[in-house]
Structure 1
Amino acid sequence: MGILELNHVSKSFNGRKVLDNISIKVQEGEFVTILGPSGSGKSTLFHLIGGLSVPDEGSIMLDEKNITGKRGFISYMPQQTALFPWRSVLENVLLGQELHEKKDVEKAAAMIAKAGLSGYEEALPSELSGGMKQRVAFIRALLSPQSLICLDEPFSALDDFTRLEMHQWLLSIWEEFKRTILFVTHNIDEAMFLSDRIIVLSSNPAKIIHEVKVPFKRPRENELLLKDEFLELKKELYQAMGRA
């Protein structure tokens, strides 16, 4: 399924509140982006969802099960691709499945081909470009058995051209497989182009200060970035970010 619910989640570190009463519901197959300035607690939110940390208050539910403080229930793609340098592309892609003893080499090879990486199955990460590494990391997340994928600013290190290319590729893959995605970024254009819904966080501490349902039809093309309706929504989000 992949239905995520955060209920009144708060978290403090060393007496400083980082997250304040965060409540979010992500529906099955929905692409939701958390948008906020750097240091607004977006990554902390992912650590809580992934069970790496425990909230001071509130609960985290996935498919009606309480996963607060529990690990292994989400698939996570960090800012850096975190590929093992000694493992081939195919071996890296299979890692999530291996951890759950559900290895499917045939399906992994098909996904590698779909990502345009045919012929690179036995290549090491050092032989790949930045965009190719991102594709491998996303395939690994997609093939993991968990119903929810959390993407933590995965394109922040890419140049603008490669980033646009990766947006198109990510959407093409996601629209085919429709996994539930919670995405974190501070890039407004990226959030608007990818998402079904955008949640804006303030900082110090993070609170939900704005939420929009993205009205643009899918599939989305790069020309959308220059349309008046895109720029109007960007202005709305920019103003919300200014209040963050």
Structure 2
Amino acid sequence: MSHLMLKDVWKSFGANEVMTGMNFSIKKDEFVSIIGPSGSGKSTIFNLIGGMLAPDHGQILLEKKVINGKRGLISYMPQTPSLLPWRTILDNVVLGQELQGKKEISKAKEMLEIAGLADYEKAYPHELSGGMKQRAAFIRALLSPQAVICLDEPFSALDELTRFEMQKWLLSMWETHKRTVLFITHNIEEALYLSDRILVLSQKPSKVISEMEVPFARPRDASILLEEPFLQWKRKVHFTLTGQVVMR
């Protein structure tokens, strides 16, 4: 059963048509990545789901209820951690709960410990590395009461090694604390490694040109990234994204 759905959604900014007839659905606790060319409206999708923008036409549904233009119904993690510099790490990770009038300090401390941040509860964001800030931001998203988490290229600013470690950590956390995740990335390998499904967008005005079920069993070991089936799927997504024909 669909948990989140975009139904024939159109959005323009003046004469700039961003999407025409965007359709897709996400199941409860599914991890779905969106991948597409630059300017194809990936971040606009998040702004529409989050109620920051309203569609010109069509419907956005969460648990079968229309949420066009409604805010506060999803948890959003942007490309930068966006931690409040005047709040400690513990106070930052409970912010989503606090805004909803509910704080679970013991749960927050438990998740900080799992993330290797137990010694930084009273630290401030400027005292943490980039990867540590991202872990804190993701814990904040997990602890927020909203049922859907939207992650907008959360690892794009990290170096390759830190990014890989964060991917493994995110996967382990998601497999332990299942939530519905919509994940934007430009990285095909990242999308394949993390996701249940991949939605491939066209050039703008964008729409979904392919929905791919990722065939790799969970839990996933990082060793699959070097195996031939994974590399074959990486080529398949690449050729779908670039509009080329896979040679057989």
TM-score, length-scaled by structure 1:
0.98
The letter for the 1-side match of 2:87 is: R
Which blocks of at least 5 consecutive residues in structure 2 are unaligned? none
- After superposition, the C-alpha distances for 1:203-244 in whole angstroms (9 at most, x for unaligned) are 221111111100001121221111111011111110011129
How far has the Cα of 1:130 moved from its partner?
Answer: 0.5
Name the counterpart of 1:88: 88
Name the counterpart of 1:26: 26
1:54 maps to 2:54: yes
Distance in 2 separating the partners of 1:199 and 1:157: 22
The 1:2/1:121 distance shift into structure 2, 3 A limit, reads: farther
Name the counterpart of 1:100: 100
Name the counterpart of 2:77: 77
The letter for the 2-side match of 1:102 is: K
Distance in 2 separating the partners of 1:183 and 1:177: 16
The letter for the 2-side match of 1:150 is: C
- After superposition, the C-alpha distances for 1:43-80 in whole angstroms (9 at most, x for unaligned) are 00000000000001110011111111100000000011
1:192 maps to 2:192: yes
| 2:113 counterpart SS class | helix
The letter for the 1-side match of 2:242 is: G
Distance in 2 separating the partners of 1:243 and 1:15: 26
Q: Indicate if the aligned counterparts of 1:35 and 1:199 stay in contact, CA closer than 8 A.
A: yes
Distance in 1 separating the partners of 2:43 and 2:179: 20
- Give the ranges of 4+ consecutive aligned residues of structure 1 lying more than 6 Å apart after TM superposition: none
TM-score, length-scaled by structure 2:
0.96
Please give the residue correspondences for 1:5-154 in structure 2 after superposition, counting only pairs within 5 Å.
Answer: 5-154=5-154
Percentage identity across paired residues of the two chains: 58
The letter for the 1-side match of 2:160 is: D
Name the counterpart of 1:242: 242
Name the counterpart of 1:174: 174
The letter for the 1-side match of 2:154 is: P
Distance in 2 separating the partners of 1:61 and 1:134: 29
How far has the Cα of 1:153 moved from its partner?
Answer: 0.4
Distance in 1 separating the partners of 2:6 and 2:74: 14
- After superposition, the C-alpha distances for 1:77-102 in whole angstroms (9 at most, x for unaligned) are 00111000111000000100010001
Which blocks of at least 5 consecutive residues in structure 1 are unaligned? none
Q: Indicate if the aligned counterparts of 1:2 and 1:179 stay in contact, CA closer than 8 A.
A: no
Distance in 1 separating the partners of 2:81 and 2:130: 9
Distance in 2 separating the partners of 1:85 and 1:120: 14
The letter for the 2-side match of 1:202 is: S
How far has the Cα of 1:2 moved from its partner?
Answer: 8.3
Distance in 1 separating the partners of 2:2 and 2:20: 24
How many residue pairs end up in the alignment? 244
Q: Indicate if the aligned counterparts of 2:24 and 2:208 stay in contact, CA closer than 8 A.
A: no
The letter for the 2-side match of 1:225 is: L
Q: Indicate if the aligned counterparts of 2:2 and 2:25 stay in contact, CA closer than 8 A.
A: no
